[in-house]
Chain A
Amino acid sequence: MTGKTQARARRALFSASGYHGTGILLAVFFLAPFAITILSSFRHGTEARLPPVPPWPTNGVSLDAYRSLDSFGAGVWQHTLNSAAVAIGTALLTVAVSLLAGYGFSRYRFKFKNALFVLIIATLMIPFQSILTPLFIILAKLGLNNSLIGLTLVYVTLQLPFSVFMMRNAFDAVPKEIEEAARIDGARDLGLLIRVLLPLVLPGIVTVAIFAFLNSWNEFLAALVLLSDNSKFTLPILISAVRAGRLGAIDWGAVQAGVTVMSVPCLFVFLLLQRYYMRGLMTGAVK
């Protein structure tokens, strides 16, 4: 009897250590690049040119890499602000528009509703690189080329099909009776949307906001094409300039510092909102 119990305990220990071991290994794989980048961004300027092993500062911590990064373009603060403005603006505008559109598509009956919806989704199939030139021309005609507002509008446009789809699903998952109860209670239109439905589709909103923020924060090609003024460049363009180096010499420390500056806000946004985000994907999946 005891032999059996021991065998079972051994097996349980074995499978538990296998489970956690695999988990730890995978976590190390995913976290190592972040750790290496962040650690090596604090190496001394002289160390930056050395082979990257070991990746951590051996000669004391220094902010040389960040100083060097700041010497590119219009200064790292300016570019971070540009990126933040575009990303936050995109997230807010995308949420506002897709919230209303998703509500409309989910709850109102109108002609060609499904055709319109399919049309919106269908635009996902067009690679945006292929419409970059027309976009550039349209923005120029509107006097919005080389402006962060123009870039934000382009990002919102690219972000909307997925977001409208997401918000429609979120609204579809809200039982109709709740809305009807609210109508009987006297809530109507915008009041109904904000006071009753908004909290119920919050996971969807967060998902849309995270996607909009991350995609516009990281976007490179449209920013490169549509912006021409040095002081208006977003972070990805700065990083590419740093990566290209000066006179053939690449400052690897500055590159690591740039990557750190770019990835830390994304991590924060995601970690802060991830529990809503997971629920958001769920409401979309299971009606």
Chain B
Amino acid sequence: MSDSGVQLTEVRKSFGSMEVIHGVDLSIPDGAFVVFVGPSGCGKSTLLRMIAGLEEVTDGEIAIKGRDVTDVDPSQRGIAMVFQSYALYPHMTVRDNLAFGLKMQRTDKAVIDDRVAAAAAILKIEPLMDRRPGQLSGGQRQRVAIGRAIVRQPEVFLFDEPLSNLDAELRVSMRVEIARLHRELGNTMIYVTHDQTEAMTLADVIVVLRDGRIEQAGSPRTVYEDPDNAFVAGFIGSPRMNLLDAVWRGDGKVDLARRTETAPIRGDGLLPGDRVTFGLRPEHLVVGATEGIEARVDVLEYLGGTRYLYCQLTDGQPLIVEYRDGPDVRSGDTIRLGCPPNRRYVFNESGLRIR
């Protein structure tokens, strides 16, 4: 417990009679960068706000650095939060925005000045100190919001979709900045996003949530290469994994689109004739194999470095292929697709991964 930055134990949240978080258990190591991802309405923001103390915990326990903070005031939890809408105080200068939290804690004036100056230096916002939020650009505002969090010297940083309001270019540079910040400060950071790139690039641990439950928690590599279920497999990766209806034949074979494909798994718990989902990532499919899945190209998207082929299998199931280089392919062509054996995933009828 002592090496745990944030510990959630059986955490539940209900709004009225509707339970939105169904008993979440999660142990976040000290200093880790954890990203909550999931579709909208999955409870990722609610969970973050519960850790912040902005939402009451209906049941369960939240501990930060081994201290039970379930019923502690937000300001006493050792957290700082960065909001999607920045939530700067519009009537205060940047300097006052940064200093406000420390002033409320009646910190010594000299200490406040030092910490504010240090935060400003880290974020390179010194020239903006006497401006008001209204006079800043979106990126500058987000820097100030992060600065306000740094000044508090929290145990845990909480980010609630901090980059969603920024344009694409700025989002990339702020993402790098946040990564740099984590390396320099070394604090535990919890970050909520629906952007996969942010999740994959920033996280030490990705927590995939759906309907108030954790579907899988693991390193970006684990959730991408070794998903526990069809939801995680489909959610992580872009374009999403092709999830195809197939039938288990036993002995490492599945029937897919009137062909028999090999699936290098033992197939524990599966009986021949069971319906399964066969998962193939678009980027792992190889066009031009002599033997393989037959597909007809419907639509072709050209993206420069790569092309997306929207295909149909012989039984009409849709399939997306990422195609990098090779002979030209036109819509209407019939292609044969191969896939490395270790990149083939099988899920049972309830969506669980079969290994």
Bound-complex Cα distance A196 to B74 (A)? 17
Q: Is the CB of B75 within 8 A of A196?
A: no
**Residues of A close to B148: CB separation below 8 A:** 181, 185
Q: Which of B54, B80, B90, B105 is the one whose CB lies under 8 Å from A183?
A: B54
Does B93 lie at the interface of the complex (its beta carbon under 8 Å from any beta carbon of A)? no
Does B256 lie at the interface of the complex (its beta carbon under 8 Å from any beta carbon of A)? no
Q: Is the CB of B100 within 8 A of A184?
A: no
Does A229 lie at the interface of the complex (its beta carbon under 8 Å from any beta carbon of B)? no
Q: Which of B79, B90, B100, B104 is the one whose CB lies under 8 Å from A200?
A: B90
Q: Is the CB of A177 within 8 A of B87?
A: yes
Bound-complex Cα distance A186 to B148 (A)? 13
**Residues of A close to B310: CB separation below 8 A:** none
Q: Which of A182, A184, A186 is the one whose CB lies under 8 Å from B89?
A: A182
Does A21 lie at the interface of the complex (its beta carbon under 8 Å from any beta carbon of B)? no
Q: Which of A183, A191, A199, A200 is the one whose CB lies under 8 Å from B74?
A: A183
Task: Say how far B161's CB is from chain A's closest CB, in angstroms.
Answer: 11
Does B254 lie at the interface of the complex (its beta carbon under 8 Å from any beta carbon of A)? no
Does B91 lie at the interface of the complex (its beta carbon under 8 Å from any beta carbon of A)? yes
Q: Is the CB of B74 within 8 A of A178?
A: no
Q: Is the CB of B91 within 8 A of A183?
A: no
Q: Which of B74, B85, B86, B90 is the one whose CB lies under 8 Å from A184?
A: B74
Bound-complex Cα distance A196 to B88 (A)? 10
Task: Say how far B296's CB is from chain A's closest CB, in angstroms.
Answer: 50
Bound-complex Cα distance A258 to B81 (A)? 59
**Residues of A close to B100: CB separation below 8 A:** 182, 185, 187
Q: Is the CB of B75 within 8 A of A186?
A: yes
| CB closest residue in chain B, given A175 | B85
Contacts A184-B52, A184-B101, A186-B105 given; does A177 touch B83 at CB 8 Å: yes
Q: Is the CB of A175 within 8 A of B87?
A: yes
**Residues of B close to A175: CB separation below 8 A:** 85, 87
Q: Which of B52, B73, B81, B89 is the one whose CB lies under 8 Å from A178?
A: B89
Q: Is the CB of B83 within 8 A of A180?
A: yes
| CB closest residue in chain A, given B86 | A177
Bound-complex Cα distance A21 to B57 (A)? 65
Within 8 A of B (CB), among A57-82: none
Bound-complex Cα distance A188 to B73 (A)? 10
| Chain A interface residue number, banded | 10 to 19
Task: Say how far B169's CB is from chain A's closest CB, in angstroms.
Answer: 25
A-side binding surface: helix, strand, loop or mixed? Answer: helix
Bound-complex Cα distance A185 to B148 (A)? 9
| CB closest residue in chain B, given A187 | B104
Interface flags for B263-305 (1: CB within 8 Å of A; 0: not) read 0000000000000000000000000000000000000000000
| Chain B interface residue number, banded | 20 to 34
**Residues of A close to B84: CB separation below 8 A:** 177
Task: Say how far A73's CB is from chain B's closest CB, in angstroms.
Answer: 45
Task: Say how far A136's CB is from chain B's closest CB, in angstroms.
Answer: 44
Bound-complex Cα distance A104 to B101 (A)? 24
Q: Is the CB of A178 within 8 A of B54?
A: no
**Residues of A close to B91: CB separation below 8 A:** 199-200
Q: Is the CB of A183 within 8 A of B75?
A: yes
Q: Is the CB of A177 within 8 A of B101?
A: no
Q: Is the CB of A196 within 8 A of B83?
A: no
Task: Say how far B239's CB is from chain A's closest CB, in angstroms.
Answer: 33
Q: Is the CB of B104 within 8 A of A181?
A: no
Q: Is the CB of B101 within 8 A of A186?
A: yes
Contacts A186-B101, A186-B105 given; does A181 touch B90 at CB 8 Å: no
Interface flags for B84-113 (1: CB within 8 Å of A; 0: not) read 111111110000000011001100000000
Bound-complex Cα distance A177 to B74 (A)? 13
| CB closest residue in chain B, given A181 | B87
Q: Which of B81, B89, B104 is the one whose CB lies under 8 Å from A191?
A: B104
Task: Say how far A95's CB is from chain B's closest CB, in angstroms.
Answer: 18
**Residues of A close to B101: CB separation below 8 A:** 184-186
Task: Say how far A60's CB is from chain B's closest CB, in angstroms.
Answer: 52
Bound-complex Cα distance A214 to B100 (A)? 37
Within 8 A of B (CB), among A163-198: 175, 177-178, 180-188, 191, 196
Task: Say how far A184's CB is from chain B's closest CB, in angstroms.
Answer: 5
Q: Which of A181, A183, A196 has the most CB of B within 10 A?
A: A181
**Residues of A close to B54: CB separation below 8 A:** 180, 183-184
Known: A184-B80, A186-B104. 19 other contacts (CB 8 A): A177-B85, A177-B87, A178-B89, A180-B54, A181-B83, A181-B87, A181-B88, A184-B53, A184-B101, A185-B100, A185-B101, A185-B104, A186-B75, A186-B105, A187-B104, A188-B73, A191-B104, A200-B90, A200-B91
Interface residues, chain B, CB within 8 Å of chain A?
52-54, 73-75, 79-81, 83-91, 100-101, 104-105, 148, 152
Interface residues, chain A, CB within 8 Å of chain B?
175, 177-178, 180-188, 191, 196, 199-200
Can you name 10 A-B pairs with beta carbons within 8 Å? A177-B83, A178-B88, A183-B73, A183-B75, A184-B54, A184-B74, A184-B81, A184-B101, A185-B100, A185-B152
